[in-house]
Amino acid sequence: MPRRYALAFLVSFLAATQDFAMAQENVPQLQWTLQPVAGALKLSTTLPEPWHLYSATTPKGTGIPFQVTFPEQPAVTGFELFQAKPIRKFDPNFQADSETFEKEITFYVVPKVAAAGELSAKLRYQICTDKVCVPQRKTVTSQFAPGSVFAAPEGFFTTAAAAPSVAAAAVAKTSDTESQSLGAYLLTAFGLGLAALFTPCVFPMIPFVMSAFLNRNTGSKAQGVAQAGIFSLGIIVLFCFLGFAITAALGPFGVVQLASSPWVNGFIGLLFG
């Protein structure tokens, strides 16, 4: 019997891994062009169907908004980002209205610099279909000469009236924001893990587990507490290792793809059926 379940799990895992690998092969790697126009830099790419890209103004919590930065370039004291009117509609990935772009995508970046030179812009964005989302980062470079006044084409508007500096201070501020976000995420994860203890399949087992370590016929209570700590640490290390291993093998969305695979869910149904 255990051998049959092990074989079923192996087949399910390999099938799910193959499905995810095939999905990854179909993820487009966007090729961005950055070219100078009168007073600005034109940033453009082509996105094949059925993919879409989230705009710079998409509502919070509905995908990673399109972002441009000029890190480690003190000559850039700020910039404005112009985009066309995005498509606003219900997004099944986030169960909320989002703002996206499709097919031919164009932005205009107006850097604030004192002298002409080469600028390297770092792009951060997320592309999605109705079933999968993939974050991407790119770096594009172009020459830029200040002096001309940029006139936005019809249908384009600025996403920030006065974009903040993206020199070292702004990079540090971004790092602080990301650190705060990570702290909030860890606190939320801890709270949800604590709440999971009160689920019907876990809570009744707590007395049994505690009794196994504290009400032993041999050894002291201190030894029982120490063994309980080792037991808990072993579970934490094991599942962290599995999480990191799956992420390294299948990418940041590997766990999501694995959990949504019909093969894996079929195996779990077989196991508990």
Q: What is the pLDDT of residue 124?
A: 92
Q: Would you say residue 224 has pLDDT above 70?
A: yes
Site of tokens 């041999």: 218
d(CA 22, CA 261): 13
Q: What is the pLDDT of residue 269?
A: 79
Average pLDDT over residues 243-263: 70
Site of tokens 């936005």: 152
Instruction: Tell me the whole-structure pTM to 2 decimals.
Output: 0.57
Question: In which band, very low, low, confident or very high, does the pLDDT at 239 lie, cut at 50, 70 and 90?
Answer: confident
Range name among 62-76, 142-156, 159-173 with the lowest pLDDT average: 159-173
Range name among 29-33, 219-223, 249-253 with the lowest pLDDT average: 249-253
Which of the listed ranges 27-31, 44-48, 174-178, 246-250 does the model predict with the highest average pLDDT? Answer: 44-48
Q: Would you say residue 12 has pLDDT above 70?
A: no
Question: In which band, very low, low, confident or very high, does the pLDDT at 161 lie, cut at 50, 70 and 90?
Answer: very low
Encoded tokens for 16: 């799910």
Q: What is the pLDDT of residue 169?
A: 40
pLDDT tens across 63-103, in order? 889 999 888 788 888 889 999 999 998 888 778 899 999 99
Q: What is the pLDDT of residue 77?
A: 85
